[in-house]
Structure 1
Amino acid sequence: MPDSTVASPVLPTGVVFRILGPLQVDGPDGPVRVPPGRQEIILACLLTEAGRVVGTDRLLDLIWPDEPPDTARTQIQICISRLRKSFTEAGVAATVVSRAPGYLLQTGEDAVDLHLFHRQVAASRVLVKEGRAAEAAETLRGAVALWRGPCLDGIPSDVLRIRGQRLDEDRLTAVETYLELELSLGRSHDLVGEVRRLVDEYPLRERLRGQLMLALHRSGRQAEALEVYRAGRRLLADELGLTPGEELRQLENAILAGDPALLSVAPAAHPAHPAERAAPPSAAPLPAYGDEKPHQLPADTADFVADEQVLRTARAALLGGDDQRALGLVVIVGKPGIGKSAMATHIAHRLGERFPDGQLYGDLRGAGPEPVSARDMLGRFLRALGIPGPVIPDDTDERAEMYRTLLAARRMLVVLDDAASERQIAPLLPGSSSCAVVVTSRSRLAALPGAQRVELDVFDEAQSLDLLARVAGVERVAREPEAAAALVRTVGGLPLALRIVAARLAARPHWTLASMVHRLANERHRLDELAHGEMTIRASLSLTHDGLNRADRRLLRLFSLAEGPAVPGWVAGALLDDHRPFPSDLVEPLVDVQMLDAVAVERTGEFRYRFHEVIRLFAREQLTLHDSPAVQLAATERMLGGWLAVAEQAHARIYGGDYTVLRGSGRRWQPPAGYVDALLTDPVEWLDMEHANLCLAVEQAAQAGLDELCWDLTTTLVTLFEARGYFDLWERTHQRALEATRAAGNRRGVAAVLASLGTMHLSRQHPEEARRALAESLEIFDELGEVHGLALCRRDLALLDRQAGEDDRALLRYEQAARDFDRVGDVVGRATVLTQSAHIWMRRGHSAVARAQLEEALDVFRSVGYAHGEAHALRRAGQVQLQMGEHAEAERTLTGVLEMVRHGRDIIGEGHLLRNLGEVHAAMGRYAQARDAFERALTVREQIMDHGGAALVRLDLARLLARAGDPVPARQLLDQATQTFRARGMRHETREAEGLAEELAVLGSAAS
């Protein structure tokens, strides 16, 4: 891709991986060779998704788009191993880690040129919002200069070639945007030559042509500007049979009329991504780059069969049809077992390339007893879009507003599976026509305006035979055509029933199709009191169930006790009390006959499983018939004890031991040790991946009367809830555990849950609720003589006192808490207290005391390997150094902590550290560096839509600009910040802003 705008760009030295051009890897000693072919494709795919997991199935599709060989997965593993070895030998600071359901490339944030491009474009957006157009244009030119040719040039993959073309389109959009900014700055004469060369290179891009017309007109060359328009009109007519767009025609008319507004106003922006349905132009002149791109779709069905006309109808509706302004909305309806979810997933996979910003998937569980609320699903979607938990609002309407704002400028596909009602899904619909939504439901959802409804019916004979042949075998069906036709008639064309019967045949290759017809007919006759559809499914399920051996039938029944959306294989071991090292071996016979679906692969190599809801109900019926309540309770207790055991180990690996948490006497069940070690290579990620199952386990423990297990698991999960800001889950699980422990008269459990709820209210900044919960918990722990519980409560009560300005009372509580933590040997609890109380001593000016406490805390955190505690204590240490005038040391400390929080993907911590570094630079008199740090902190806050945090940084920036004698932009920033403070009831910050406003007013008066 020749680029006349940049000559021989000097690339940043920190970039290691370059895909904005031919693939290139640079090690400390020069380029690193990546063998062409499979390794090149895999690395290119990992780089486009660096920081996100790339599924093994996706890599298989990239390398073998038609039919992968039997050894395909092994070949992928070999390629990954060779890439790792190449990086290690070349000294490249990157690693490829195995992470379900595939692989993840981990490297520095600016080590990939694509990511650096995205960051620079995002930074330019902030500059534009602040009115700094010249700096924004310069930043964009630097971003465009990263290109060395067509993106991913030479990679032998059609899919990656299309991906590269989309990224090349992003580059051109950035070029057009900086040209538009520079035109608005009055640089028209200087730009004519550059824009003309670009128009010659991309003659069909109307935005470029409009910019050339405007540059010529403003340079006094109206005749040439009009000729540029006429040349474009001829080209469009000759090449495409089209006329110029409305905006270009309006620009021509304005030039002909001598409109004076053209001398100062740039033409309106064209859509950033021309496609079948273009996203509407954003109010800001820059597109949103660098945002999260979730890919949440379940796996597609390999042997999928459907009516092509139905697929075409759905595709047309989702891609816009006749109305380019309306949201593409398809509702797939039908009875159980008809294939609604499989159809939705298949459609979404086929349209993946048309929605490059990703796919959101939500199982709404509308057919179950407790459908997922819109509020909860919005919380999940917002986190997937990169919004940290603490920033997500509590109110459903506010969440929906944030969700629609994030999707407004994106092309994203949303799949809402198993919806219960219009009310449930209405808040989940994007407001932008650039997105599309697929809904499945057993109800027609007639009140959804503009929806294209697709009603699935049973298969006809041809479709049924096709599916039967794909599952049971083509030759087998060809040998018995009459029996095959009779079989599909007996099943009645219901996809689920047909798939179960076909799987049963596949598992019994010696059975004839005729014998299956006879068996199924007998089973249907036995169940003839049922409705036709129910009878068809029940007959096929009964036939398969009765053909299983005794152990497999027992596991099928017990496995129905696991209520999660996707269940790991070790659960089978817990249910059966079987400790074999590879527990998935127990489940595979059920997968073979389609009674369970294998839906994902863990990093251990073990599979995750899911019931079709109809099959789960059948298995539950069999459970009630064959297993006593005592047997069911014992199996449930083992399963829940397994969840507790692994969660307990995850907590211990994060904190360096069993610290800062109480333990109950509930029974544990330990999965195989080697299996758990593999699961917990990243314990926070395991907790996050399993959070749905873990929260359901809390509910199940409460329902089963296992109150000790319930409160113990609940409080253990705070490790996840705090790390990810999952306040909704925190509150819901704890309220359920509180009900269970109160009902059981479990006073210690009640106190433990209340103490944890107090911590949650503290994190949510609800001090009164926190104080009430902690006071009740403290009273119970005092009655019981529970020293560890008293320490936890006093620690949090001290923080409440500190926030209220009651420093003396806080220090007394901290002293008591430290003493109690010492008595029970909780070294991390004591170190946390030292870190928190050091802030009071620092605030009082006792820097030496604060420093001594922080050094002791750091020794503890480092000795046990508690990284979060170390980062928090180091940040406080940096603040102490700043207070003591040790500016260089503070800069080094805080820069190190910044790297730590970035490595942990703690974007909120990144915002705090950038702000602290801005304070350090300001204290050192480094105006430019301070401004840059504050502006980067502001970018972070705006990216996660933390309006309160952004206002605080604007106040810092306004203070800095005022000190530097730049009152006009300072006043603008201050006005924005004050408006936010007042709207959010931030009284202290409002007073600070008003004080600065008075100072600026005095400065303005003195200047005049």
Structure 2
Amino acid sequence: MPGSRVRFRILGGVELWLDDAPAVLPRPRHRAVLGCLLLNANRVVTVSALTEALWGGAAPATARNQLQADISAIRRAGRGALELTTRAAGYLLHADEDQADHLRFAALTARARGAAVSERVPLLREALALWHGPALADAAGAYVAAARLQLGEERLSACEDLYEAELELGRHREIVPDLTRAARDEPTRERLWVTLMLALHRCGRRADALAAGRELRRFLADEHGLEPGPAFQETERLILRADEDDAGPAAAPVVPALLPPDIVDFTGRDAEIARLDAALAPAGRPLPVVTITGMGGVGKTTLAVHAAHRAAGDYPGGQLYATLRGTEARPVEPGDVLARFLRALGVDERAIPIDLTERADAYRSRLAGRRVLVLLDDAADEAQIRPLLPGDGSCVALVTSRAGLDGLAGARRVQLGVFSDDEAASLLGRVAAPQRVAREPAESATILRLCGRLPLAVRIAGARLRSRPAWPMSRLATALQNEQRRLDHLVAGDLAVRTSIASSYRAIGAAGQLLARRLSLFTVPDFPSWLASAVAGVPAAEAEDLLERLVDAHLLLDAGTDATGAGRYRFHDLVRLYLRERAQAEEPSDGTDVLRAGFGAYLGLARRMATLIPGPCYAAIHGTFPAVTVPVPDEVDPIEWFAAERLALLAVVRHACDAGEIEAAFDLAGCMEKHFDIRGIYIDWRATSDYVLAACRAAGHRLGEAVMLRGLTELAAWHEVDHPGGAMDRMLADAEQTAELFESVGHGPGLSDAAVMKAWALAAKGTYGEAAEAAELAIRLAEEHDHLGGQARAHVAAAVVHGESLDLAVAEDHLTVALRVAREVGNQRYVATVLQFIGVLNTRAGRTGAAIAALDESLRVLRTYQDRYAEVLTLLTLARAHLPGPPARGYATEALTIAREYNLPHHTADALGVLGAVELADGNHRRAVDHLSASVRLWRQRGWGTFLADALRTLGDAQAPISPAAALHAWREARDIYLSVGHAPRVAELNALISKQVAAASPSS
């Protein structure tokens, strides 16, 4: 029936409908094949992918023929109405959201995320009504469990979104019965419990709300050994301290307030303010994007900030603000702004996705259902701001730009022109003193005319007059007349701004001018007063005085205080451009000496602070660039200093690269690595190192190239899976290249570090002889060059190699030395690392008490430094040490949560394997198979043989009662891996298992 209407269902049983009648799919595998094709609708599914999905690595020899038969059966059931085509690589099934329930569900939930709350509820209810039971309920295939879990997760998320939307609409009484059932059906879903507590509280049932919280606490403690998360705890605290008649606490405790201060002498713009007040006022409808456009200096930012402050009370979800630097040569990347916004919304640094699209998704998810005002200042173009626009109709975005931004469909626009005569006169009077303007009206009018009534020019002119109280107005008017040819073109572009800045520039004196010109050469978002001292060559107090004069002249803006107690300042973008022009015209040199002095100041402080941060014990490798000593208080926290200076340091590193100062660039980037590591700032680490690496290679700077590649190798090995042979193959290749570079410049400590990385990679590949040689080389080099941290690292690497080869006694000797050296160095974080491996070794040796003691000490140290990434291995080893006891599940669950949150594929694979072992110990074979199958898939990508073999071995144990054939397949693959690396005891053990299983399956038995 080629003309029949085709519909598919997988949100329940797998069904194919022609018109209004179900077609017959007689076998579970027919339904499994159709389900797999639907999950990949409109994409070619290869035969090998289908085979893996159905049989999970245990495909029979006839798999291809069976698949062809299954496809034929599905086509027969569709009676010619299906768009199911055969391609060279596999099969393609066409379906749209009107045909397939899961596609319809995805479309409805996506639309709900971007809709106003009143529209969100019906969309979510329609989406959830599509479900008729567990997804793929009657299909049979290896992929089904994971797909069912994923689709079920999406359904639960939609339920949570629905209940939160209902709560926002004040329907707390109506949702309590269903919400109570949902929370008890899914007791680990903390969002459901938080919403239930809020709904009960708003019903006046405060005691019931707190009882629901206690119920969740008991469940998490008894079943998982965990405490509820921050959102739950904040809600519970708010309920406890709320008044009896309170309508209930807010659901989201993190409320950003990033708006810069309002302008105290804001003047005029009455018509524009009225339009913005109306545009920004919530009115129960999807809120708009509002743009303020106009030429530079016309007052876009001033107006936007003022309007945002007026509207802030209507946005209880908070206010976000970012300046996008669209007028600069390198505008701010949208991904960087999203990272800042996510941090302001409560997202941990290490949980921020790397991919721009994923960051935007996370940002919009955080804004969903909240009323937040987003101010984006100085946008370059539509492409820059689109990822930053909220997806939720409850939020508003206010954008300023010199560009027209006509590509933003549906945006409300305010085109800003120059001041009227009255507005310009009023601003001049407010800044300079109203009595002076009134005393000399003709001269004031001349100033305003020559300024073209441009707000920035008027404000700067008024500031100059204020700083010269004895001047008559005529004096400034005459000065402006001298540049009348430029002032004739004031309204055409930046020329008027340049003239206005020049009038202030001339008033600050030679010393101030010199400092302003020199500071303008640095491409930093803001800077501390010690930078001024370094580039001007004057004492700190004198530099502070000069900076304050620049602030008074409106050439600088006060940006607060930095982590050392020094003042911070920033340039307006147009002021910086003007001052750079003056530097080019007035400075006798090209500014290289100035930049080197500033780079040296940053480098001097970065070196000092880096030595105070405990890190991974790599050799501190510096270049020959002269560092400048900057006096700062001894009590400055180095981690806080790096955090406060991070954006400036990143800019300085790139600037140094662009200026050809490679010695400064690689040295400064290397100093930042320990801060990146301890705070898990992997995105900036990679971007900075990649940039410097490219500059080093272009300049032929092999030492800098080696230092950058050393850090990038560490990042790629544990945080990425993008090499054809797996992450460990990439680590080996990068370690060998790093060693060649260090050898070419004769750097022994660097060679030791590279040999450590090579030993790890070779151990992962099972080539233990070569790995042991690399570890011994690392030890010898570290000893020869007094590289104590390298000695500790090298002994840990040697311990890993011998532990992998089952020589536990030798491994223990190396760890004993590593712990002693790490304590001697005084590096507590690396002490915690060595204790982790001592815990691993003792767990393997069956010394549970000693393992737990070492791991508990490791955990205490790591939590002192808030080192969540390193904490995962400790948690995983604690779980193994406690197996099969109840605490194992809690430790493994927490480890998996952290590993997934912070994008750690190695630890995610490990955590899934441990959870599979936990489920197996509890007799939950099918759950164990799900976890272990996922672990095996990840280990295949990682390229670490023994970890893969361990996961396969446990997977076979879990599959044995369910699918003996699958168990045999897993055991045989594990045995072959153990055989390839020489693990004879494990080979013998698996051979016995395989023989027993084969005998049990034979007809004679």
Partner of 2:452: 492
Displacement of 1:650: 1.5
The answer on 1:333 being equivalent to 2:293 is yes
1:997 Cα shift?
Answer: 5.8
Gaps in structure 1 of 5+ consecutive residues: 1-128, 141-165, 188-194, 210-271, 274-285
> Is 1:861 the equivalent of 2:806?
no
Distance in 2 (alpha carbons) for counterparts of 1:599 and 1:814: 50
In structure 1, distance between residues paired with 2:739 and 2:936: 39
1:651–1:657: 8 Å Cα contact kept in structure 2?
Answer: no
Quick check: 1:486–1:517 contact (8 Å CA) kept in 2? yes
Contact 2:766/2:946 (CA < 8 Å) preserved in 1? no
Residue 642, structure 1, aligned to residue 642, structure 2:
no
**1:663 aligned to 2:586?**
no
Q: How far does the alpha carbon of each residue in 1:449-492 deviate from its partner, in whole angstroms, 9 at most, with x for none? A: 23222222223344334433443345555555665455434423
**Residue number in structure 2 paired with 1:556:** 516
TM-score (norm 2): 0.66
Quote the residue 1:693 is aligned against: 648
SS at match of 1:653: coil
Quote the residue 2:574 is aligned against: 614
Conserved 8 A contact 1:288-1:409: no
User: Residue 962 of structure 1 aligns with which residue?
Assistant: 920
1:184-223: per-residue Cα shift (whole Å, max 9, x none)? 5899xxxxxxx99999995799xx99xxxxxxxxxxxxxx
CA distance in 1, matches of 2:199, 2:336: 49
- The correspondence for 2:773, drawn from 800, 806, 812, is 812
Report if the CA contact (8 A) 2:563-2:641 is conserved. no
Larger deviation, residues 903-912 vs 554-563: 903-912
CA distance in 1, matches of 2:640, 2:778: 31
* CA displacement, residues 687-726 of structure 1 (integer Å, 9 cap, x when unaligned): 2332222222223223333232233223333233333444
Contact 2:799 2:811 in 1 (8 A): yes
Q: Displacement of 1:571 after TM fit? A: 1.2
* 1:3-61 deviations in Å (ceiling 9; x for gaps): xxxxxxxxxxxxxxxxxxxxxxxxxxxxxxxxxxxxxxxxxxxxxxxxxxxxxxxxxxx
Match of 1:310 in 2: 272
What's 1:874 paired with? 835
Q: State the 1:595 CA deviation.
A: 0.6
Change in Cα spacing, 1:768 to 1:960, as seen in structure 2 (3 Å) is closer
Q: Evaluate the alpha carbon distance shift between residue 847 and residue 177 of structure 1 in structure 2; reply closer, same or farther with a 3 A threshold.
A: farther
After superposition, the CA RMSD in angstroms is 4.5
Matched with 1:708 is: 663
Instruction: Work out the CA distance in 2 between the residues paired with 1:762 and 1:517.
Output: 66
Q: Distance in 2 between matches of 1:947 and 1:292?
A: 29
Deviations 1:325-378 (A, max 9, x none): xx6422221111122233344444455555555544443322222223334444
**Structure ID, larger Rg:** 2
1:674 equivalenced with 2:629 (yes/no): no
Q: Shift of the alpha carbon at 1:609?
A: 1.2
Quick check: 1:656–1:865 contact (8 Å CA) kept in 2? Answer: no
The equivalent residue for 1:68 is none
- The aligned residue for residue 866 of structure 2 is 905
1:182 to 176, 180, 183: 180
Summarize the alignment of residues 268-287 of structure 1 with structure 2, pairs less than 5 Å apart. none
- Alpha-carbon spacing, 1:988–1:445, altered in 2? closer, same or farther (3 Å): farther
Check conservation: 2:450, 2:487, Cα contact below 8 A.
no
Select the residue among 740, 743, 749 that pairs with 1:788: 749
Q: CA deviation at 1:546?
A: 1.5
Contact 2:563/2:640 (8 A) holds in 1: no
Counterparts in 2 of 1:776 and 1:978: CA distance versus 1, 3 Å: closer
Question: Following the alignment from structure 2 to structure 1, what is the Cα–Cα distance between the partners of residues 645 and 617?
Answer: 20
Which residue number corresponds to residue 56 of structure 2?
Answer: none
1:601 equivalent to 2:561? Answer yes
- Deviation track 1:86-136 (CA, whole Å, cap 9, x = no partner) reads xxxxxxxxxxxxxxxxxxxxxxxxxxxxxxxxxxxxxxxxxxx99999xx9
Q: 1:839 to 1:957 in 2, by over 3 A?
A: same
Aligned-residue offset at 1:562:
1.4
Select which of 562, 584, 587 maps to 2:547.
587
Provide TM-score, normalisation by structure 1.
0.66
User: Does the residue aligned with 2:766 lie in a helix, a strand or coil?
Assistant: coil
Query: Aligned equivalents of 2:542 and 2:754: distance in 1?
Result: 42
- Alpha-carbon deviation of 1:802? 2.7
Closer, same or farther: CA 789–963 of 1 in aligned 2, 3 Å: closer
Decide whether aligned partners of structure 1 residues 471 and 949 sit closer, same or farther in structure 2, where only a CA change above 3 A counts.
farther
1:814 Cα shift? 1.9
In the TM superposition, residue 646 of structure 1 has moved relative to its aligned partner by 1.1
Deviates more, 1:811-820 or 1:895-904: 895-904
Amino acid at match of 1:447: G
Residue identity matched to 1:961: E
Report what 1:226 is aligned to: none
Conserved? CA contact 2:615–2:830, under 8 Å: no
Taking the aligned partners of 2:874 and 2:488, their CA distance within structure 1 comes to 70
Question: Relative to 1, partners in 2 of residues 1:881 and 1:827: Cα closer, same or farther, differing over 3 Å?
Answer: same
The reply to whether residue 542 of structure 1 matches residue 502 of structure 2 is yes
Question: Aligned letter for 1:936?
Answer: E
Aligned to 1:778: 739
The 8 Å contact of residues 298 and 599 in structure 1, kept in 2 or not, is answered as no
1:655 and 1:864 in contact (8 A); partners too = no
* Cα separation, 2, equivalents of 1:918 and 1:562: 51
Task: Give me the whole-angstrom Cα distance separating, in 2, the residues matched to 1:511 and 1:540.
Answer: 17
Asked if structure 2 preserves the Cα contact closer than 8 Å seen for 1:957 and 1:970, the reply is yes
Q: How does 1:335-414 map to 2 (within 5 A)?
A: 335-352=295-312, 354-382=314-342, 394-408=354-368, 410-414=370-374
With 477-486 and 488-497 compared, the bigger mean Cα shift is at: 477-486
Distance 1:453 1:411 in 2: 21
Say whether the 8 Å CA contact 1:919–1:930 is kept in structure 2. yes
- In structure 2, relative to structure 1, the CA distance for the partners of 1:314 and 1:800 (3 Å cut) is farther
Secondary structure in structure 1 of the residue aligned to 2:625: coil
- d(CA) in 2 for partners of 1:388 and 1:754? 27
Q: Describe how 1:732-881 pairs up with structure 2 within 5 A.
A: 732-765=687-720, 766-881=727-842
Do structure 1's residue 573 and structure 2's residue 533 form an aligned pair?
Answer: yes
Is 1:319–1:328's contact at 8 Å kept on the other side of the alignment?
Answer: no
Question: Equivalents in 1 of 2:328, 2:692: separation in Å?
Answer: 22
Q: How many residues align?
A: 752
Q: Which runs of 5+ in 2 are unaligned?
A: 1-148, 186-194, 210-233, 236-247, 721-726, 965-1005
Q: Which moved more, 1:384-393 or 1:512-521?
A: 384-393
Deviation at 1:535, TM superposition (A): 4.1
- Structure 1 residues 186 and 876 mapped into 2: Cα distance closer, same or farther (>3 Å)? closer
Q: 1:310 corresponds to which letter in structure 2?
A: E
Deviation by residue 1:238-257 (Cα, 9 ceiling, x = unmatched):
xxxxxxxxxxxxxxxxxxxx
Q: Secondary structure at the match of 1:449?
A: coil
